[in-house]
Chain A
Amino acid sequence: MKKVALLALLAPLLAHADGNFSGYAQEHLAYRTGSKSACAGIEGCSVMANEQRLQLLGEWQPMPGIASTLRIDALNDSAAGSSTILVREAYVDAAISKQVAVRAGRQVITWGVADYLFVNDIFPKNYDAFFTGKPFDHMKEAVDAVKLNAVTGEMEIEFVAARPGQDGMPSSARFISAALPPGMTATPAGRHGTDFAARIAGRVGRWDAAAYAARYHSREPGLYMAPGAGLAWEMRPMRHLGVSATASAGNGVVLAEAAYIDADLRAGNMNRYSFGRQIKALAGYSVDFGEDLNASVQYHLERSVDYGDYSRSLAPGIVPTSRERQTLYARVSKKLLHQTLGVGMQAFVAFDGGRYLNPFASYSIADGWNWEVGANLFDGTATSRYGSMKRDSNFYTSLRYSF
């Protein structure tokens, strides 16, 4: 309640300060589609999400070369029993010269070129938002970081030093598949150390090419059996080397990414989806057929480089996944009525037997007003990632007013 009062106080102050101000008010609902019997013990059972969110964005440029941004969310989710105010972004930009700029503070960073299947985007995502159908701008989480950006000719270099950040994993308050077995608890993971990441990007002919290197901590908490201490979460140290390339091809865009990732594995590892050393690769193509009809397809591969180490690290009773994990992603979308109505479908087909289908539609009722509906439909074998979420299938709707 204090936070809501603080926001109520802050809003008019922001509105009267000298700068650009905008934001939105949004209602988001997600309903479980399947049987409710399996979720009787969790808060977000029938209604998985019932969130009211107010976002305020202020941007100031007090002098040439200096700018600041503050993005604050106030939200209440009665389905998950949470109510909070979040500082989503708060950073200062400074242009040191025409070639060099610095951004310091809480900020969203996105690398890589693919859609939804990530190879080189090592920065945190919010899968809880994604799997409950929130608008796509909820997909990324901010990190507290200093980012140095330097441009020389057609080449751009970024260097990031950040406090380790975590993915927003599906909440156990609404996702059955995210809950630990009854009676089990795990020691939370601490966030120690600093992440370092660098990206160098440029044009090679008509291609946008980039190379990445990072030494960071896993965004996805790994669960392991700590000897004598029971279950514990950990953020594993990771090392990452990657490349990406994208170019226009006809009315389409071709893209590719690859990475070598080395993560420390701890004995007692319970995350069967986390290989130790692995390669990731992705190839995709997106094409526009004209008249606002667009289709894209991506193929994503993860392969263990040292499968023996991985399988030996697993805690007793944890079934290893196969050495290779492959996912095919396809999307088709069409805009109608002068791009005010969008309809489409995207599908993730994992070769482990899991499937995830997301039909969606959005309609701009008027300038600033947007309504979205869709469904997150999971299916497949119980041991597959998507199949294990079968009971968490949902349909959703959002109404947003932007100002």
Chain B
Amino acid sequence: MNEYLRIVPASPTENAAGVRLVNQGPDHMASEFMQKHGKKQPNGATLLAAVATLTFAAASTAQAQTIPADEMVKKELAAFYYAGKDMSARVSMRLINAQGNVRERDMTMLRMNKGDTGDQRYMMAFAAPADVRGMSVLIAKYAKADDDRWMYFPALKAIKRIAADDKKSSFVGSDFTYEDVSGRDLDEEQHTYVKADEVAGRKTYVVESKPKGNTDYSRRMIWIDQERWLPLKEEYFDAQNKPLRTFTADKVEQVGGQWTITARTMKNLQTGHRSEVLFKDVQYNTGLGDDIFTERNMKNPGLGAK
């Protein structure tokens, strides 16, 4: 039995719903739009109404450049890091150096929002490679304070609170920092709207964000999807304003009603190293509770499962 199933035995209904929604295109988007507005099946009249509404929405989007940059980033953070009440996924990482040598990391990731406080809980349980199998990390993320972080070492049956610089420390040797994985606070950066642009046919707002504190980058440019509010591309620059890292959303799918980046890459432009990440079996709103994000569940995920 794999680690993922041991941690979160999925509700068959929710799982099936999640699978149905994956890989559905614009037709599905329209369908969901109708459902949200209380309409079941489009007939000719409702289709016309829908087209009219969508046209209005598009016009609104074109004018939405007046949205403050802070608001854009706030929506982006909400869409990227806070989608749903909770989320679970199997995450596969491929760490590829400039010579093409590959290392792999497989883990289960669980995330739960603590209401509307901005606080979150993350748990990551590693399944591969073999030398880290069974290790797990629990992160208590606070909107207005430094995060707490614990690591479980299975050979010692010990949980230790660990120190890590979110802004600079690599997440499991990848090109992502811990902060890239669990998100930044809105007011940790100063945000400026730059322009509208397109990425892979999607309309985006381009925002420049400059960190107020000490990080590994001096600024970053974010291409934010105007409709889905997900970051489709990010460019990080170092202290000398040289390109440092590039984030790309390689695949975006709708899962359980949430637009989700299911394939993403972070590339270090100065070393040539890159990290490719796949999110599989993504599920939202499965009812994860505080009882999952416990020390006991870090040690023995099978027994703590719902």
**Closest chain B CB from A335 CB (angstroms):** 8
Nearest B residue to A251, CB-CB: B165
Could you tell me if B163 and A137 are in contact, using CB atoms closer than 8 angstroms? no
Nearest A residue to B167, CB-CB: A290
New A-B contacts (18) at CB < 8 Å, excluding given A290-B169, A368-B129, A400-B131: A20-B1, A64-B9, A107-B157, A108-B156, A139-B156, A151-B291, A248-B149, A253-B162, A292-B169, A338-B103, A338-B174, A339-B170, A340-B103, A340-B173, A367-B131, A368-B130, A368-B131, A402-B130
Could you tell me if B303 and A65 are in contact, using CB atoms closer than 8 angstroms? yes
Q: Mark A248-273, 1 if CB is under 8 A from B, else 0.
A: 10111101000000000000000000
**Closest chain B CB from A77 CB (angstroms):** 19
Which residues from B are CB-within-8-Å of A246?
Answer: 161
Which residues from A are CB-within-8-Å of B156?
Answer: 108, 110, 136-137, 139-140
Could you tell me if B300 and A67 are in contact, using CB atoms closer than 8 angstroms? yes
Which of B12-20, B140-148, B218-226 sits within the interface?
A: B140-148
Could you tell me if B161 and A339 are in contact, using CB atoms closer than 8 angstroms? no
Could you tell me if B130 and A403 are in contact, using CB atoms closer than 8 angstroms? yes
CA distance A287 to B169 in the complex (A): 12
Which residues from B are CB-within-8-Å of A288?
Answer: 163-165, 169
A252-B168 contact given A20-B1, A364-B131, CB 8 Å threshold = no
Which residues from A are CB-within-8-Å of B161?
Answer: 113, 208, 246-248, 253, 255
Select which of B95, B130, B291, B302 is within 8 A of A98 by beta carbon: B291
A151-B296 contact given A338-B273, A368-B131, CB 8 Å threshold = yes
User: Sorted from nearest, which 8 A-B pairs have the closest CB atoms?
Assistant: A290-B168, A137-B155, A339-B173, A402-B130, A290-B165, A367-B129, A110-B158, A402-B131
CA distance A281 to B132 in the complex (A): 32
Nearest B residue to A289, CB-CB: B165
Chain A interface, >50% SS class = strand
A22-B133 contact given A109-B157, A139-B156, A366-B103, CB 8 Å threshold = yes
CA distance A95 to B296 in the complex (A): 11
Which residues from B are CB-within-8-Å of A19?
Answer: 1
Which residues from B are CB-within-8-Å of A321?
Answer: none
Chain A to chain B contacts (Cβ below 8 Å), 20 pairs:
A98-B291, A108-B157, A113-B161, A139-B156, A140-B155, A140-B158, A151-B294, A151-B296, A248-B163, A252-B163, A286-B163, A288-B165, A288-B169, A290-B214, A292-B170, A296-B163, A338-B95, A367-B128, A370-B131, A402-B131
**B residues near A, CB below 8 A?**
1, 6, 9, 95, 97, 101, 103-104, 128-131, 133, 145-149, 153, 155-158, 160-165, 167-170, 172-175, 214, 216, 273, 291, 294-296, 300, 302-305
Which residues from A are CB-within-8-Å of B273?
Answer: 338
8 A Cβ contacts from A330-359 to B: 335, 338-340
8 A Cβ contacts from A237-251 to B: 246-248, 250-251
Nearest B residue to A255, CB-CB: B161
**Closest chain B CB from A330 CB (angstroms):** 15
Q: Mark A69-103, 1 if CB is under 8 A from B, else 0.
A: 00000000000000000000000011100100100
Could you tell me if A61 and B6 are in contact, using CB atoms closer than 8 angstroms? yes
Which residues from A are CB-within-8-Å of B158?
Answer: 110, 140
Select which of A64, A107, A335, A339 is within 8 A of B305 by beta carbon: A64
**Closest chain B CB from A257 CB (angstroms):** 13
Could you tell me if A338 and B97 are in contact, using CB atoms closer than 8 angstroms? yes
Which residues from B are CB-within-8-Å of A368?
Answer: 129-131
Q: Mark A197-226, 1 if CB is under 8 A from B, else 0.
A: 000010000101000000000000000000
Nearest B residue to A208, CB-CB: B161
Nearest A residue to B271, CB-CB: A338
Could you tell me if B130 and A22 are in contact, using CB atoms closer than 8 angstroms? yes
Nearest B residue to A370, CB-CB: B131
A52 within 8 A of B: no
